[in-house]
Amino acid sequence: MASIEDILELETLEKDIFRGSVHPSVLERTFGGQVAGQSLVSAARTVGEEFRVHSLHGYFLRPGNPSAPTVYLVDRIRDGRSFCTRQVTGIQDGNAIFTMSASFHTVDAGIEHQDTMPPVPEPEDLVDTQTIEKLAATELYQEWKDWDVRIVPADSTRRIPGITAQQRVWMRYREPLPDDPVFHVCTLAYMSDMTLLGASKVPHRGVVTQTASLDHAMWFLRPFRADEWLLYDQTSPSAGFGRALTQGRMFDRNGSMVAAVVQEGLTRIQRDPSKYGVETGNLA
């Protein structure tokens, strides 16, 4: 599989127009995190160095073809002194497959607080999913070989009363990454689509579903590195009518809350699982 550096390397075609290259993939559809990460790279290239991305809101409109390049058109919606906004559209074969708004902000002084990171085992004490034969053989985990993903067992973490679906995962990129903070933010946009929809499957083990990301929102709260361990604390407060709502908080090992994510995904009951090869279990 391609490295994250190669995935996030875009070609500039014209002012505010970029193209992502094609990389080998075992997936039938382009991984949503890839499109989100490349879109954010495109937006970040059009703002000054004094601006840092603080949020993105994206919609997955059509399945992407992993064998075809995606072209990203950036619209400069607003350029202010403290904030600027970009609208990005990802296009394949003349059709929009993804649209995203990204907001950038200069550093300001203000009030500060955050949630406490939940108590969980250290990642070194957990099993690398690439050593679990059943998981490593799935298409997604073949695609994610460069990512160290470690699931916190349910009996090794404290459940929150009233939370129906909960999942906690340690993850990081396996190899050292460049020091550029913007690169780590775009890498996290890719990572954030990994495993999150699986939180909705925790109460429904064995139920076969057709799954896909529908929309995705992120807020980047504090500095971090994507090649260092991050705890992804995931819940799914509701599922119904073929869709599931999921949300996640990301913490570094020091307990700093570095990002927050909300995603709605398709979780349609699949009558013919062999047609789609869709996973079961608690990960998506």
Q: Could you tell me what percent of the chain has a pLDDT over 70?
A: 95
For residue 34, pLDDT over 70 is answered with yes
Domains of the chain: 1-107 (3.10.129.10), 123-284 (3.10.129.10)
Give CA–CA dist 179/201, Å, rounded. 36
Give CA–CA dist 27/13, Å, rounded. 27
* Pairwise pLDDT comparison (94 vs 27), residue with the higher score: 94
Q: What is the pLDDT of residues 156-169, one digit of tens each?
A: 988 888 999 999 99
Give the CA-trace dihedral at 78, 80, 82, 83, to 10 degrees: 0
Q: What is the pLDDT of residues 203-253, one digit of tens each?
A: 998 899 999 999 999 999 999 999 999 999 999 999 999 999 999 999 999
Q: What is the pLDDT of residues 108-120, one digit of tens each?
A: 999 999 999 999 9
Q: Which residues are catalytic?
A: 193, 213, 263
Confidence label for 281 from pLDDT (cuts 50, 70 and 90): very low
pLDDT at 284: 43
In degrees, to the nearest 5, what angle opens at C-alpha 153 toward C-alphas 150 and 155?
160
Mean pLDDT score of the chain: 92
Give CA–CA dist 63/28, Å, rounded. 9
Would you state the structure tokens that stand for residue 269, as one six-digit string? 């009951």
Confidence label for 272 from pLDDT (cuts 50, 70 and 90): low
Q: What are phi and psi of 248, to 5 degrees?
A: -150, 150
Would you state the structure tokens that stand for residue 114, as one six-digit string? 């955050």
Cα 209–chain centre separation: 20
Pairing status of strand 209-220 against strand 147-151: unpaired
Pairing status of strand 209-220 against strand 257-269: antiparallel
Q: What is the pLDDT of residues 52-72, one digit of tens each?
A: 999 999 999 999 999 999 999
Q: Hey, CA dihedral for 259, 264, 266, 269, is it positive or negative?
A: positive
